[in-house]
Amino acid sequence: MGIEARKIEDVGLRTGVSRLTPEKIQKAFKALMAGEGGARLKTYVETCVRCGMCAPACHYFLSHGDDPSYSPVGKVRQTMWELIRKDGRVDPEEIYGMAQVAYTECNLCRRCMHYCALGIDTAYIMTVVRRLCHKLGVTPQYMQDTAHSHSAVLNQMWVKDDEWIDTLQWQEEEARDEFPGIRIPLEKEGADFMYSVIAPEPKFRTQLIYQAAAIMHVAGVDWTMPATPGWDNSNLAMFSGDTEIMGRIERFHFEAAQRLRVKRIVMGECGHAFRAVYDTGNRWLGWKMSPVPVIHSVQFFWELLNEGKITIAKKFPGPVTVHDPCNVVRGRGLMDKLREVVAALCDDIVEMHPNREHNLCCCAGGGVINCGPPFKNVRIAGNKAKADQLAATGVKTVVAPCHNCHGGLDDIIHHFKLGMELKFLGDIIYECMERPED
Amino acid sequence: MRQIYEFAVGPLAWAAFAVFILGSAWRFYSMYTLARKKDGPFLSYMSWKFSLRSIAHWLTPFGSLGWRENADVTIVTFIFHLCLIGLPILALGHVVLLDRYQGIEYWFLPEGAADIMTLAVMACCLYFAVRRLTNVTVRYVGSVRDFGVLALAFAPFCTGFLAYHQIGPPLAMTTLHVLSGELMLMAIPFTRLSHMIFGLFARAYVGSEFGGVRHAKDW
């Protein structure tokens, strides 16, 4: 029982620990505690009464036959408590295990906060462990690659500046067959809003940009996208523990919007990106709330439907179920708007249980899916609980307004042979909206 | 023995209350100072409204998902804490002592009720101890220290029960009761019992962040 019995080889973690000694680890740990380890960490570690009430909160715990080493408190025991107990003087191999726990066995979904009477934020403790691992150079290879990409080109997928613009123009041209007057307005100063997406969209999910442009066109909104870095709203450095790069990405994102003098930022259907922009990046940059108003697509679509800018020509054939992504529901309270949008699109909604703020995680977020193929089976095995939850709805369509959720749910749907298909809200709106005659 | 007793209910009691009150104040002040120094941005989210909203839900039995899904723990935890806090304040013996030494007089619990509550605390302690040994998660994360903290809470109630029922030498038992109570009081700021001080604030912070920033409930 415990991480030592389930180590997975990862070249990033292995190379990282090969350069460490207990002395180096202790030095880094002490520096981290002296600099960043504040009252929150101290309070959380001191006040935990080891009651174990948080265990059933975690999908890993539920999916692994109640193995306590997968419980939230079990993960803290294997990482932060151990570091504090030994004052940071741990073996490199122990750091390997701690990194694997923090990066691949916790999605930072914060469901366990609904279980802890003392308000202990296990996700925060895991981010501190990740921060230490980052400072020690012990990060999963795939995740580190995305952080490098953010660092070098300010997007997650090594998309070059001209490729970004070319992709938008390509999608605009494609869409002109269907909507002759359509534009994807680049660099339009003073537009109502800047639309930002995650880098996987131009890289391999270009149809989502196409669909978004189609919806904007039909709705007749005044929008723009930046032609410069800052267009990618994703942020994997936030999850790797590279807070400096995390902040730099967010600064570029906000400054792109400020340069374009837009009134607000509308973000695509991504959860972690929303967390980075709305909840994390702004704080690092010294803003209590984001310096430019930010809304997620769920809210944007809700506004379009409520203001009558989009009308639904035909209902999507149900039944469908709704997955509440942690970062826009526990992170932004959009559960009601999400349901109102889905209800406008489809008459037959079957709720999964638990739902809303209590929903089970997709097991992809928090950077876990970004740790790549070596850990794919960890998150699939770790989310049997979600597969059971989905299967219990008996429906064939899952609406999930989050990229990471799509990735995680898609994998469990295939692995557990659930025979379900996944939809973004944009997919359904694009399919069902009333289109102009042009 | 009489001298020890007099010392325990006299100077030592003052010392115990001083350690408890000043220790708690110092722990709280130093934690707040640390928060101001290192967690300033996070303190700015604190909100009375959302703090109290969250605390109210968590002070309601079965008022949160965590309480609902751990029903047995919930029942025992609420009984335990109600009795643990209520009994020392409202037990007849304590009210009499306060009256004699400080001239403070107020309502006290009927003796039968106090007796039942004492038994309830001991039964709850027993439940927690058994759970520490049998629940896989609790066993995985627990240590001897946890039993120590449990013993700290158990001792004053056990000795109080024995003293009240005149089991064992009455004066010695009463003295042990006073001493163990004082030990628990003094331990609160410096052991895991400090969740009495910090738990509310951690919950208040989470409540503030969820309410004010995330617009979602945290219970």
Cα A111 to Cα A102: distance, rounded to the nearest angstrom? 16
Q: Identify whether residues A422 and A327 lie together within a single domain.
A: yes
Which domain CATH number covers A324?
3.40.50
For A46-76, write each residue's pLDDT tens digit. 999 999 999 999 999 999 998 999 999 999 9
Percent of chain A with pLDDT strictly greater than 90:
98
Q: Write the DSSP assignment of B114-134 as a string of letters.
A: HHHHHHHHHHHHHHHHHHHHH
Is the domain of A172 the same as that of A299?
yes
Please report which confidence band the pLDDT of residue A140 belongs to, taking 50, 70 and 90 as the band edges. very high
B150 assigned to some structural domain: yes
Q: A110, A139, A168: which is the final residue of a domain?
A: A139
**A333 and A220 share a domain?**
no
Residue A11 near chain B (CB below 8 Å): no
Q: Specify whether A112 is located in the same domain as A209.
A: no
Q: Could you tell me the two tokens for B60?
A: 């309601």
Interface confidence, given as ipTM, is 0.93
Any domain includes B27:
yes
Answer yes or no: is pLDDT of B21 > 90: yes
Give the CATH number of the domain where residue B51 resides. 1.20.950
Cβ separation of A73 and B137 shorter than 8 Å?
yes
Q: Is the peptide bond before A319 cis (omega within 30 degrees of 0)?
A: yes
Inside any domain, residue A437: no
Judge contact between A73 and B141, C-beta under 8 A: yes
Which residues 6+ apart lie within 8 Å of A257 measured at CB?
A194, A226, A230, A264, A265, A292
Same domain, A124 and A166: no
Residue A423: predicted pLDDT: 98
Q: Are A332 and A400 contained in the same domain?
A: yes
DSSP state of A269: S
Instruction: Using alpha carbons, select from A379, A428, A378 the residue that is nearest to residue A401.
Output: A428
Does position A437 have pLDDT exceeding 80, yes or no?
Answer: no
Please state the domain count of chain A: 3
Whole-Å CA distances, A438 to A357, A390, A434, A435: 42, 40, 12, 8
Q: How many domains does chain B have?
A: 1
Q: Residues of B with CB below 8 A from A52's CB? A: 135, 137-138, 141
**Is A384 inside any structural domain?**
yes
The total number of residues written for chain A in this structure: 438
- Please determine, for residue A156, whether its predicted confidence score (pLDDT) is greater than 70: yes
The pLDDT > 70 percentage for chain A reads: 100
User: Does B41 reside within a domain?
Assistant: yes
Residue A147: inside a domain, yes or no? no
The predicted structure's pLDDT at residue B41 = 84
CATH value at residue A117: 1.10.1060
User: How do residues A263-320 score in pLDDT, each as one tens digit?
Assistant: 999 999 999 999 999 999 999 999 999 999 999 999 999 999 999 999 999 999 989 9
> Is B41's CB within 8 Å of A283's CB?
yes
In a domain, B205, yes or no: yes
**A316 & A298 share domain:** no
**What confidence score (pLDDT) does residue A1 get?**
82
Residue B172: inside a domain: yes
Classify residue B219: in a domain, yes or no.
Answer: no
Residue range B75-128, pLDDT digits in tens: 999 999 999 999 999 999 899 988 988 898 899 999 999 999 999 999 999 999
Q: What is the pTM of this model?
A: 0.95
Reduced 3-state DSSP string for B132-172: HHHCHHHHHHCCHHHHHHHHHHHHHHHHHHHHHCCCCCHHH
- Closest by Cα among A162, A169, A159 to A204: A159
Contact B192 A288 (CB under 8 A): no
Q: pLDDT (tens digit, 9 = 90+) per residue, A327-366? A: 999 999 999 999 999 999 999 999 999 999 999 999 999 9
Tell me the residue range of the domain where A37 lies: 3-139
Compute the nearest-CA separation of B28 from chain A (Å): 10
CB contact under 8 A, B215 and A114: no
Whole domain around residue B158: which residue ranges?
2-213
Whether A146 is in a domain gets the answer no
pLDDT at site A11: 98
Q: Which residue of B has its CA nearest to A58?
A: B66
Question: Is A399 part of any domain?
Answer: yes
- At A438, the pLDDT band (50, 70, 90 cuts) reads low
Interval A420-431: pLDDT, tens: 999 999 999 999
H or E element at residue A423: strand A421-423
When the pLDDT of each residue in chain A is averaged and rounded to a whole number, the result is 96
Query: For residue B102, what pLDDT is reported?
Result: 84
Which of these three, A139, A171, A205, is where a domain ends?
Answer: A139
Residue B2 has a pLDDT of: 87
Query: Cβ neighbours of residue B149 under 8 Å, at least 6 residues apart?
Result: A49, B187, B191, B192, B193
pLDDT > 80? residue A392: yes
Residues of B in contact with A44 (CB under 8 A): 202
A361 and A330 in a common domain: yes
Same domain, A370 and A405: yes
Average pLDDT of the residues of chain B: 94
> Would the pLDDT of B42 be above 90?
no
The tens digit of pLDDT for each residue in A158-189 reads 999 999 999 999 999 999 999 999 999 999 99
